Every structure is written in C-alpha cells, then in structure tokens.
Amino acid sequence: MTLADYHHLFPLQHGSRQVFVKAGARGYPDPRYELLARILEPFGERAVDLNPGVGLVSAELLEQIPVDLVETSRACLRCLEQSFATHPQARVLRGLPWEAEAEAYDQAVLVLPAERGSRYVELALWGAAHSLRRGGRLWIAGDIRKGFETYFKQAQAWLGYGLVSHREGSLRVAVLEKENPTPPGEAGWESFEAEVWGRLLSFHHLPGVFSTGHLDPASRLLLHTFHPSLTEDVKGRTVLDLGGGYGGLSLPFAAAGASVTVVEDDWVSVLSAQASFRANGLEGRVFHSDVEEALPPADRFDIIISNPPFHLGGEVILDVAQAFVQAARSRLCSGGRFYLVANSFLKYEPLLEAAFGNLSTLRREGYKVLRSEA
C-alpha cells in the first residue's frame, strides 16, 4: 500500500446508505455499529452521535432527524466530511464526547469506546447524560466481553430508567431515558512526572490516550538508545514524532533543544500533547493529522521518531504503521534518520527495507529499535 492508497477515501454502500471509509478510520467493519445502525429508532427533533467513526449509525438517523456528529479521529473526520458535508441535516464537529452542547438533544447515540479504557467510556457516558434534555433518550451499543454490563449500570445510575433492547451473541444495545438532572462532571485531566536524559518532565493527558500514567516501556527504550552519546546530536535539529500521543517521545527531544513537530490522529491526544508542552515551558507544534496529511507540504526533518500504533478499535492493523514508514521516507532531509520502536513480533523490517533500502537494528530487549537513513 502506497501513501496515496492509504489516504484514498472509498464510497461504501451500506444497505441503502452510502458513507466514505478509508484505511486507519474506525467504525467499519464493526458489528456494534452495524447492529445499532440496523435497529435504531429516531426520537425527537435533534440527535447527537458521540462516537460516529465513519458514520454508519448517523447515516441511518440522518434520514429522519438532524444529527451532530462529534468525533476525535482525524481519519474519521475526513470520511465524515466527505460523506455528510452537503447533507443539510448533518453537522460534523471535531470535539470530545463530554464537551457536546449541554441539554440540547432529544437523542444521543454512543457505541461504547471500550478500547479506550473505562475512564474514557465513563466520561463519554457522562457527556451523553449532559447533552440530553430531560426526557431525552440514550442508545448505547457494546459487548458484554468488553464491560457492557458495567457501563450500562453506570448509565442507569446517571440517567434513570433503561433496558437492554437487543442481544446478538455478545453484543448488546440498551436504551435509557434521562429522568435525572445532569450529574456533576469533572475535567478528567491527569499528570505524572518522569525523568528522561537527566531531566524531570511532567506529562499531562486526558483519559483514553496511549500509555496513561507512565511512559510506555517501548518509548522509553527508544529514548534510551539516544542516551547519553546521541543527545548532543539532538540540539538544534528538527524532529518529527509520527503519532505523538501526549508527547511521551517528543517532549524529551524538545527539552534537549530540538525543534519538535508532532502529528497525531486523535484529538484527545493532541490536547494532551499541547498541555504537556505548555506545562514544561517547551515549544512544540502539534498537528491534528491523519499521518502527515495536515503538515505543511514543504516541511522536512532531520530526525523522525515513532512508536507506531498497531491496534484500531481492538484489531491488529499495520496499515497505519506502513503509512508512517512511507511518510517518514518522504519527510526526511537527505542524510536524515528515522527511528522506530515496536513489539518484537511486528514485522516492520521489510517495510523499512522497502522504503529506505537500509536498516539497522539498534536494540532488541522485548521491543526492538530500528533505524533507517534517508
């Protein structure tokens, strides 16, 4: 798959509706979305979809009522914009599920984002409660193997009456009515400190991002390969972090005097990285970007680093990692270096060989640190 293939949007016919999908975008194929899209009944005059993905569920609702689609992923937003930009009833919004307009909707729909962890799901459920008018209805879809029962109970505690309306294998859909006043909320920010290259850094993040509460051991290993001999080399260099999360890899580079750019698909992570840079008095450019697509086209870098994702909604995927490797090849200055850290079992070597024609394995300690030169 080339970078152009990765960025291509395809029309998908789903029943009588059409939505656009692309590599790296959540929500299709996904049996939770498909089930909810099939059985959902529109209610009232205005709806909000708090985890639309590529928009299967919203596409159904939009036949009957106006829908606001609140999404965090840039890859998904690209699909949603293509599918619904000219739809008079749709509003595609980049945002957090717990920051939707308060008490503004008759209906909220939420495919439980269980792969992001329970704190994130709870905040999303709180967001759903917050967004509904009294008497409004919440539809949730999930999997009993991924905490559905617990989340359903939490939703009942906040909203009021609810029942499980559909069961299919381990999948469940429940409908709840908002009888109670909106419960008090909390912002959700967390932080921790970690020492890297002899400097104490403070990392800030919202729930649901990669490696909450501590630096990821693979990212630590990549940082370790730079210490102590290579850190001098970092000063004054331009560094790009592909898939930057809350800045676990990139903050140390900024603290060591590099000029740092981050691209990140997830808006929750973008906000977290910005908060982390700010908290340490460091500069860093953070782009909400599906791989490199939002970067200024002429930007090139001396060093590119990455701890690429290999899960999407719980499935192992290598499309995004492959796009990262190709983006690294196209964005390095001549003589620049790309450092990638990954689980040992992931077969990234052929991808790097194909893109760069050279490869060194710098470390192998549970994870492996690979380097290619442009």
Residues in contact with ligand SAH by CB under 6 A are: 24, 75, 210-211, 216, 219, 241, 243-245, 248-249, 263-266, 269, 289-291, 307, 309, 320
Shortest Cβ 91–ligand SAH spacing (Å): 23
Tell me how far apart the alpha carbons of residues 17 and 37 are, in angstroms, rounded to a whole number.
11
Tell me how far apart the alpha carbons of residues 137 and 147 are, in angstroms, rounded to a whole number.
21
Tell me how far apart the alpha carbons of residues 76 and 94 are, in angstroms, rounded to a whole number.
10
Helix, strand, coil percentages (3-state) for the chain, rounded to 5, are 30, 35, 35
In contact, 326 and 319? CB cutoff 8 Å: no
Neighbours of 134 (CB within 10 A): 12
Shortest Cβ 206–ligand SAH spacing (Å): 12
Shortest Cβ 13–ligand SAH spacing (Å): 24
Q: Which is nearer to ligand SAH, 37 or 263 (CB)?
A: 263
Q: Which is nearer to ligand SAH, 46 or 94 (CB)?
A: 94
Nearest to 37 by CA among 52, 21, 20, 22: 52
Shortest Cβ 133–ligand SAH spacing (Å): 33
| Cα 106 to the center of its chain, rounded Å | 27
Q: Show the tokens assigned to 252.
A: 């140390």
- N-to-C CA span, the chain: 20
Shortest Cβ 51–ligand SAH spacing (Å): 15
Shortest Cβ 24–ligand SAH spacing (Å): 4
Q: Which is nearer to ligand SAH, 175 or 291 (CB)?
A: 291
Q: Which residue is nearest to ligand SAH (CB)?
A: 243
In contact, 9 and 66? CB cutoff 8 Å: no
Q: Which is nearer to ligand SAH, 60 or 241 (CB)?
A: 241
Tell me how far apart the alpha carbons of residues 76 and 266 are, in angstroms, rounded to a whole number.
10
Shortest Cβ 272–ligand SAH spacing (Å): 9
Tell me how far apart the alpha carbons of residues 118 and 116 are, in angstroms, rounded to a whole number.
7
Q: Show the tokens assigned to 52.
A: 């639309």
Q: Which is nearer to ligand SAH, 65 or 317 (CB)?
A: 317
Q: Which is nearer to ligand SAH, 142 or 244 (CB)?
A: 244
Q: Which is nearer to ligand SAH, 71 or 266 (CB)?
A: 266
Nearest to 18 by CA among 78, 84, 93, 90: 84
